[in-house]
C-alpha cells in the first residue's frame, strides 16, 4: 500500500513538472486572434464624448489695496485686478439636439462654458441644470442645427465586479484618451463625494480632466460618469469612481423636461446606519440595513405605515446595506406609483408600498442678501420639506437656512457655510427669510448671530 501511494505522488509530481496541469499556452492560430481589439467600440462611442472648458472671472484680492492711505501714497487704483480662472473636464452627449452631461464641479461658478467635440469643433454652451447632490450638470449647445451622436444608457444595476469597461475623457488636457480596466467594486458608499454615495469603482486609469467623461461597457453603452479618483499623488492609482448610469438617467430626464432642479421621490423619514451595537440589540447577524429614526407626519413614509425603529432591508428586491444605498435606490425610482420597501419590525418581515412623490416646496422664499452685512452674498431659504430633504435637516427645524454662498462674498469671507441655520440676529428671532432681510437692512457696529451648524448651536459676534 505504501509503495502504491508513493507511486501516485511521483506520478503527480511528474505531471506538474511537465506542465500537464499548468495553464495551456499556445500560439495564436489565426490573424483574427491577433487583431482582437476594443477599437470597434471606441470608434462607435468616441464621437459622443466631448471636452468641457469652463471659465470664470475672479478678483485678485490684495489686502493692502483695502487701505485708502496705501492706495493714495502709492497711486494704486482702487479697482482690484481681475483674472480669468479656467477649469477643464469631459462630458457625454446624451441627446442628439446637443444635450451634454458632465460633473457639476467641472462647471461650478462658471461665467462661460465651451464644449469641444471629438472633431475639434467648439460650441458655446448654456447650463440647463445643476445638481450638487449628485455632482451632475446638464449643458445645451447653443445655436446648433444638426443632430449629434449620443450614448445610450446601460442598466447600471446589471453591472458585475470583473466586467471590462473603458474610460474616455480628456486627462490633463492632452486630448481625448481611452483607458481600459475592470469594475473593481459596486455600491461604494463611504466615499464622501456627493449626497448620493453609491459609486462604481474601477481600475481604468482616470486622471484630472477625466471628470464628467464616460465609463463605457462592452456593448458601447454608458455605464457611468467618471467623477473622482483616490490618489495621494494627484494621478491615477487604480481607484476611480463613477456615478452609475441609472442616477445619470434621472438627472438627464429632469433636464429634458425643462426643469431647473432634479425631480426625485421624497421618503419623509430620517435614516441612520446600523452599528454593531445596534445590530446586537436587534438580534441581527451583521450590521446592515437602514434604521428609521424619524418619520415626518403626512409624508409618503407615514402614509405607507413606516414607523420609528423599523429596519429597511430592501427596495424593489434590491438589498439595502446602509442609508446611502437606500437613498440611491429610492432616488432612482421614477415618480408616480409606489415603491415596495422591505422592512423588519419586531422580528417580522413586512412589505410597505411607499408613494413616489416629490417633497412639497411651498414657502421656500429663497432670496440673495445684498445689503452691507456679514450675510452679504448668501442665498437663504425657509425650511420647506424639499429644502429639509435636500440639506438633510429635520422638517420641523426652525430658522432660515443658507443654501448657497457667492464666491469672494462677505458671507464667504466671514465663514458661513451651506446648511448653516440662522435662528437669531441682534436678539431678534429669525423665522423666515423676510426677517433676516429686514435685519440686514439696518446698519450695526456689532452683529450678534445665533446659528446652528451640524446640530450644534453657535453664537458669534462680528464687527459691522
Catalytic residue ranges: 105, 135, 211
Contact residues for 56 (Cβ-Cβ < 8 A; gap 6+): 84, 85, 109, 110, 111, 112, 407
Query: What is the C-alpha R_g of the chain?
Result: 28
Rounded to whole angstroms, the Cα distance separating 390 from 130 reads 14
Rounded to whole angstroms, the Cα distance separating 305 from 289 reads 18
What phi and psi values does residue 75 have, to the nearest 5 degrees?
70, 30
If you search the block for the grid coordinates 413606516, which residue do you land on?
306
153 DSSP assignment: B
In terms of Cβ atoms closer than 10 Å to its own Cβ (0-12, 13-18, 19+), residue 297 is exposed
Calculate the alpha carbon distances from 187 to 84, 321, 414 in Å. Answer: 38, 10, 38
Rounded to whole angstroms, the Cα distance separating 138 from 126 reads 9
Question: Helix, strand or coil for residue 422?
Answer: strand
Rounded to whole angstroms, the Cα distance separating 169 from 395 reads 41
**Angle at CA of residue 431, ends 427 and 434, nearest 5°:** 95
Rounded to whole angstroms, the Cα distance separating 170 from 147 reads 23
Amino acid at each position: 500500500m505504501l509503495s502504491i501511494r508513493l507511486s501516485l505522488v511521483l506520478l503527480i509530481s511528474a505531471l506538474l513538472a511537465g506542465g500537464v496541469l499548468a495553464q495551456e499556452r499556445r500560439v495564436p492560430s489565426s490573424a483574427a486572434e491577433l487583431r482582437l481589439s476594443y477599437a470597434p467600440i471606441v470608434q462607435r462611442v468616441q464621437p459622443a464624448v466631448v471636452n468641457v472648458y469652463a471659465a470664470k472671472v475672479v478678483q485678485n484680492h490684495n489686502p493692502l489695496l483695502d487701505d485708502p492711505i496705501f492706495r493714495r501714497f502709492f497711486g494704486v487704483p482702487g479697482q482690484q485686478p481681475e483674472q480669468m480662472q479656467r477649469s477643464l473636464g469631459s462630458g457625454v452627449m446624451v441627446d442628439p439636439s446637443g444635450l451634454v452631461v458632465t460633473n457639476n464641479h467641472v462647471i461650478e461658478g462658471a461665467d462661460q462654458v465651451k464644449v469641444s467635440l471629438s472633431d475639434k469643433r467648439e460650441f458655446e454652451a448654456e447650463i440647463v441644470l445643476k445638481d450638487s447632490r449628485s455632482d451632475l450638470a446638464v449643458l445645451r449647445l447653443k445655436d446648433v442645427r444638426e443632430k449629434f451622436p449620443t450614448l445610450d444608457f446601460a442598466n447600471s444595476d446589471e453591472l458585475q465586479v470583473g466586467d471590462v469597461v473603458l474610460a474616455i475623457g480628456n486627462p490633463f488636457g492632452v486630448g481625448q484618451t481611452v483607458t481600459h480596466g475592470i469594475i473593481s467594486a459596486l455600491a461604494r458608499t463611504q466615499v464622501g463625494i456627493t449626497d448620493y454615495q453609491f459609486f462604481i469603482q474601477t481600475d481604468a486609469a482616470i486622471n484630472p480632466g477625466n471628470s464628467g467623461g464616460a465609463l463605457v461597457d462592452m456593448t458601447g453603452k454608458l455605464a457611468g460618469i467618471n467623477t473622482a479618483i483616490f490618489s495621494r499623488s494627484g494621478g491615477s492609482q487604480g481607484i476611480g469612481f463613477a456615478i452609475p448610469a441609472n442616477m445619470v438617467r434621472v438627472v438627464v430626464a429632469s433636464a429634458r423636461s425643462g426643469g431647473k432642479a432634479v425631480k426625485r421621490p421624497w421618503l419623509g423619514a430620517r435614516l441612520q446606519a446600523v452599528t454593531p451595537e445596534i445590530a446586537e440589540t436587534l438580534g441581527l447577524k451583521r450590521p446592515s440595513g437602514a434604521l428609521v429614526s424619524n418619520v415626518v407626519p403626512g409624508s409618503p413614509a407615514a402614509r405607507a405605515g413606516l414607523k420609528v425603529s423599523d429596519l429597511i432591508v430592501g427596495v424593489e428586491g434590491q438589498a439595502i446595506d446602509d442609508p446611502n444605498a437606500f437613498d440611491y435606490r429610492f432616488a432612482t425610482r421614477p415618480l408616480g406609483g409606489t415603491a415596495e420597501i422591505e422592512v423588519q419590525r419586531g422580528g417580522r418581515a413586512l412589505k410597505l408600498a411607499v408613494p413616489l412623490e416629490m417633497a412639497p416646496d411651498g414657502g421656500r422664499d429663497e432670496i440673495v442678501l445684498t445689503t452691507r452685512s456679514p450675510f452679504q452674498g448668501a442665498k437663504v431659504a425657509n425650511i420647506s420639506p424639499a429644502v429639509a430633504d435636500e440639506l438633510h435637516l429635520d422638517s420641523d427645524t426652525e430658522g432660515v437656512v443658507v443654501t448657497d454662498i457667492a464666491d469672494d462674498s462677505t458671507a464667504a469671507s466671514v465663514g458661513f457655510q451651506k446648511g448653516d441655520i440662522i435662528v437669531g440676529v441682534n436678539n431678534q428671532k429669525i423665522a423666515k427669510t423676510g426677517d433676516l432681510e429686514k435685519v440686514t437692512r439696518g446698519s450695526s457696529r456689532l452683529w450678534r448671530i445665533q446659528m446652528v451648524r451640524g446640530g450644534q448651536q453657535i453664537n458669534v459676534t462680528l464687527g459691522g
